[in-house]
Structure 1
Amino acid sequence: MQQESVTTRVGVSALSKARRRVGPAPLRALFEAVAGPVGTPHTPGVFWRGRRVVAVDGTLLRVPAAGAVETVYRRRRGPRYEWGYPMLRLCVLVECGTRALLGSGRTPLGRPATGCCTY
């Protein structure tokens, strides 16, 4: 007898709920375990004149407009209005040639950028 393989598809909402249940600690631990340089001196585009080549990149992400979140991540403001979702500034350091993440930093939009979010 031959067994059939069964493929189960997981919905996006199931993944979101699971992330909420476990919290940020496992994802932070996973990032810290796998982030780091992976290129060797022989990997194309990783080294130039004996130095590792890296790039800094940043983006803005919308975060949910919930009560506790809005105390840290504020909405955008003008002279008279507040609008949109609260925003998070994310900055990453990437190894060129492999695109491996070396580090990251985040700060709420509208607050002074510190650490690796400062250019």
Structure 2
Amino acid sequence: MMESLFRLVAGPLSTPDTPEAWWRGLRLLTLDGTQFDLPDSANNGDSFDGPSTGGFPFGFPQVRAAMLAEIGTHGVLDAHLGSYRDGERSLACPLASSTGPGDLVIADRGFWSVEFAHAFTATGSNLLVRLQSNHLGTAQEELGRTCR
């Protein structure tokens, strides 16, 4: 029921006239992850788990979320939820289907992977991802160079 309500109200809010929402004709989107504490119940603990040490849980069960939002309006376009142990990158890849040509998706360093890049660029969206300072990746494909 909550997901149905979310899908009903989530969506783009900006227009090309919205301040700081567009850059050079591209709608600016951000992709980020977070986690939320849930009430400490047996059902939540079984469904979402949480931090543990030595196999013993401590703290509250947590839900991890990856969210795609407009930068100019902070309007959430899409979100994907998972358990504490789900990685942000795996939760983020399905959000690619909510992007397309004319979007510039800006993501933090924890999201970078070739699979992630392919998921988003396959929709026609543009992708800008910060890399970790120790990133020693190998080239997958060399892009042509053009000067303007």
TM interval, shorter chain, is: 0.5 to 0.7
Instruction: Say if 1:38 and 1:75 are closer, same or farther in 2 by CA, change over 3 A.
Output: closer
Instruction: Report the AA paired with residue 79 of structure 1.
Output: G
The alpha-carbon deviation at position 112 of structure 1 amounts to 4.0
Match of 1:116 in 2: 92
Aligned length, in residue pairs = 94
Instruction: Report the AA paired with residue 116 of structure 1.
Output: A
Match of 2:4 in 1: 29
Superposition misfits of 4+ residues, deviation over 3 angstroms: none
Q: How does 1:8-23 map to 2 (within 5 A)?
A: none
User: For 1:79, which of 36, 39, 54 is the aligned residue?
Assistant: 54
Q: Quick check: which has more Rg, 1 or 2?
A: 1
- Aligned CA RMSD, in angstroms, stands at 2.0
The alpha-carbon deviation at position 65 of structure 1 amounts to 2.1
Instruction: Report the AA paired with residue 35 of structure 1.
Output: A
User: For 2:74, which of 92, 99, 112 is the aligned residue?
Assistant: 99
2:45 is the alignment partner of 1:64: no
Give TM-score scaled by structure 1 length.
0.68
Instruction: Say if 1:112 and 1:58 are closer, same or farther in 2 by CA, change over 3 A.
Output: closer
**Structure 2 contact 63–81 (Cα < 8 Å) conserved:** yes
Structure 1 Cα separation of the partners of residues 74 and 86 of structure 2: 29
Structure 1 Cα separation of the partners of residues 72 and 38 of structure 2: 31
2:17 is the alignment partner of 1:38: no
Q: Give the fraction of aligned pairs with identical amino acids, expressed as a percent.
A: 29
Q: Specify the SS of the correspondent of 1:59.
A: strand
Alpha-carbon displacement from aligned partner over 1:63-95 (angstroms, at most 9, x marks no partner): 122222221211311236421111111221110
Instruction: Say if 1:39 and 1:75 are closer, same or farther in 2 by CA, change over 3 A.
Output: closer
Instruction: Report the AA paired with residue 18 of structure 2.
Output: T
Unpaired segments ≥5 residues, structure 2: 94-109, 112-148
Structure 1 Cα separation of the partners of residues 50 and 27 of structure 2: 38
